[in-house]
Structure formats: structure tokens, C-alpha cells
Chains A and B, each alone.
Chain A
């Protein structure tokens, strides 16, 4: 199927790869279908593109590429929302916010996105964890 995207204009994707977010994303609850797209062959970053509105797309990272000690708890009951019954089905991502300077990009470690790879479902979970915030620098500060 053809979809319009924020970063790549119109592209073709396999409809089977579409991810269903029953609860949308926080602040974007009406966006229930997304496509996960690679960005420029860099596998550290991917784009989560809403199929409902081409302007709505999030840049995601896999946390352990940047935050080796990221350690979180999400209960089995909460994971049932995306029909997870085995750890092998889980892919974990965090939303990245990029301000004026790309070097100042931050990751939201407080509200990760969990994807059930098998069932093609996803959800943004809000952690009850004081160790994490919505803005963790991805790259070290540049010394001027």
C-alpha cells in the first residue's frame, strides 16, 4: 500500500507491517495505525509514521544503543494490552525530541514504546519510575 510520510514523501509499504496502536500515542490518541520506517540506513534511528496524518511522525531509538543501563519494569498485565505472552515478541523504543541543534537531541525514557513484533501491535507506556524523565541527552554535550 502507498502511504504519505513526513520524511520520505510517498512510499510503498507492506500492509502486513502496519502497527496497530489501539490507544494511539499520548496526545495523539486518534492515531491508531503506524508504520515503522528506517531512516537513511542508520539503524540507530527509526521513524514511527502515522498513517492517519503524514505530518505526525516520531523519531525513535532503541534505548540500549545509547543508554546501556536502561532498566524498566512493565507488568505482564500491562503488556497484555498488546497481547504479549513472551519476551521474544517485545521490541522497545523511545521517542526522540530534536531541538535546533541535533546534538542536543533527547530521549523520553519515562514513556517507552513497546511493540509486539508478532502481533503488530504497539503502545506507549508511562512508567512509574523516578529514575527516568522525558528528556535524557542522547549525545554528550559539546564543549565549546
Chain B
């Protein structure tokens, strides 16, 4: 017997993501999914941005193992929940059900924004919806200017690109023209914010954009 299906394989995940999004909207909470390769500066960006946002924040940290990033962010005095994917087989991304579970530990009437720092990876997190309002893809200048060409899906699904560690530009071979040209060929509307969390260059501009985009 043949059964025609024609459904997305990830429907089970996407349904949970939609439910999460509805829950957040009902409570007036915005969720930001921060993605990028290991070491691109996701945690450091949160450390710089959260104090400047001036709203109540909670953070969901996703890592295969360990609590290192959660410990760093908790020093900001915000609620942090660590998801380790190792018990689930060491998944290289966060799925909607894991994020939904973490949100269950947050009092939604006490926060305005939830940041999700996804597992460090430019591949897998792009496939899995989690119910966020905004997707940030981060690349540091030291990783090379070829990332949009190598990982087009990630740059296509994301809403904004943060180009981090701009203070290192004079020490690395990073062709900004090539990077932006390749990016236009994947997601031409995507704004790019070049910044350095270390020197502070560009951070305020990014925070301003974020506040506007999240209607804070």
C-alpha cells in the first residue's frame, strides 16, 4: 500500500517551535537565537550587549557539554539555563523541544528578552527552528571571509550578521568586499554589524538596531 505524505520531515520540531513562539508572544517576550562557529565571540557579545540593552533578560546556553559559558553570563546577574546536548547523543544544535523545556524554567512575566546562545556551529542550527523572533549569525574576522559562500543556508535563514573581532582586521587577511559580495548572493537584505566586543567599536550601533528590531 502506498501512502503519499509530502510533509516536511522536521514538522514535529517545527510544531513545537511554533508553540514556543505563541507562548512568548502571549507573554510579550522576544527571543533571539545567536548562532556562529566555536570561538566567534557569541558569549562575549552577550556579555557586552546585555548590560546595554536596559531590559530584563534571561539566557539559554546551548553546548554539547560543560557550563563554562553559562557561568560567564550568570555573572551579569541574569537568569541562565544551560542545555547540554551530550546526554542526547551530543547533538550539534539545539532543537525546539530542548529550548521549550528551558523556557519552562523562566518566569516569563519577569523578562523582556531571552537570548539563546546556540551550539557553536555554522551548519546544523540553521535547519532547526526553535521559535525565535530574530536569528543572529556571527562570524569573526579571524575565521576568514568565505563563510557565506561555504555555509549559505545559515546566512539565508538568519536576519542579521555580526562580524566580530574587528580589532583584529589589520592582523588577518579578511576581504570585506568579498565577504559582503558573497553575502549579497545568499541574503542580499541582511544587515552586517562590524564590531569589537573588546574595544567596544560598533557595539552601540548593534544594540540600537537590536532595540528597534525587538521593539524595546
Partners in one complex: no
Listed in ascending order, the chain B residues whose CB lies under 8 Å from chain A are: none
Q: Residues of A at under 8 Å CB distance from B?
A: none
